Structure 1
Amino acid sequence: MLQPARTKFRKAHKGRINGTAERGATMNFGSHGLLALEPERITSRQIEAARVALTRHMKRAGRVWLRIFPNIPVSKKPIEVRMGKGKGNVEYYVFRVKPGRIIFEIDGVSDLVAKEAFDRASSKLPIKTKVIKRNINI
């Protein structure tokens, strides 16, 4: 699972996801991309499950770029613990996805394989997504 080696602060506030993505909203590496249409926190387990589904359908042909990384710690208190006594321990890491953010990019496969691979990957994610294709202008 993806998680940062170290963070500046051990625990983070929940935060809100406002607006649309400014960073990571353009295709930089591949020929096809998976674009987020909703704001949501995506966990490292969901990212890994989507990546595995993507690469397995592509049969390890082509190249995959992961454009997001879970760097926000989410803490949780144990079950049946009374209120108070501080914040819980870090359980997992998430990435706050804004609408318009490109999550994955792939290259080296046909349009049909890319569409089907992204459909399988998007079924592992908790948000609506859209497959986009790079416009190559020479």
Structure 2
Amino acid sequence: MLYPKRTKFRKYFKGRTQGLKTDGTQLSFGKYGIKASEAGRVSYQTIEAARRAISRKLKRSGQIWVRVFADIPITSKPTEVRMGKGKGNPSGWIARVSEGQILFEMDGVSYSNANQAAVLAAQKMNLSIQFIEWS
């Protein structure tokens, strides 16, 4: 669901995720948000699991915006295959996340509900995140 329909190339470099990001660090749509405290890679399954956790907690009240998109294919070679013979086949999708990047936004819910939803989403993510509020 959270990956592109088609890409220019089948296989990409994974790339490095480091440094602070300048764009995508402010809340644009909602009143509350979830921000990455460290750089890393997030898979499309992780993004979807966090989104489901948030939407289940909010119980269809309010609105959720997903601000990350897994657009980089990750390859893996099959098990028990010898080294060499080229790069493996695409097996999944990741999103590069920089420090300070907004991952999710929420609106139309109370502060306590949004905070609890952020805690549930943090348990699904493989990097540390923080809950922020629009000021």
The interval holding the TM-score normalised by the smaller chain is over 0.9
State the alpha-carbon separation in 2 of the partners of residues 17 and 50 from structure 1: 21
State the alpha-carbon separation in 1 of the partners of residues 119 and 21 from structure 2: 22
Tell me if the contact between 2:35 and 2:132 (Cα under 8 Å) persists in the aligned partners.
yes
TM-score if structure 1 supplies the norm length?
Answer: 0.96
Which aligned pairs between 1:25-64 and structure 2 lie closer than 5 A? 25-64=25-64
Q: Which runs of 5+ in 2 are unaligned?
A: none
Q: What's the counterpart of residue 6 of structure 2? A: 6
Deviations 1:59-112 (A, max 9, x none): 110000000000000000001001111110000000010110000000000000
Deviation at 1:23, TM superposition (A): 2.1
% identity of equivalent residues:
46
State the alpha-carbon separation in 1 of the partners of residues 110 and 15 from structure 2: 39
Q: What's the counterpart of residue 105 of structure 1? A: 105
RMSD: 0.7
Q: What's the counterpart of residue 94 of structure 1? A: 94
TM-score if structure 2 supplies the norm length?
Answer: 0.98
State the alpha-carbon separation in 2 of the partners of residues 72 and 21 from structure 1: 18
State the alpha-carbon separation in 2 of the partners of residues 66 and 90 from structure 1: 24
Q: Which runs of 5+ in 1 are unaligned?
A: none
State the alpha-carbon separation in 1 of the partners of residues 2 and 14 from structure 2: 19
Give runs of ≥4 in structure 1 deviating > 2 Å: none
SS in 2 for 1:113: helix
Tell me if the contact between 2:18 and 2:99 (Cα under 8 Å) persists in the aligned partners.
no
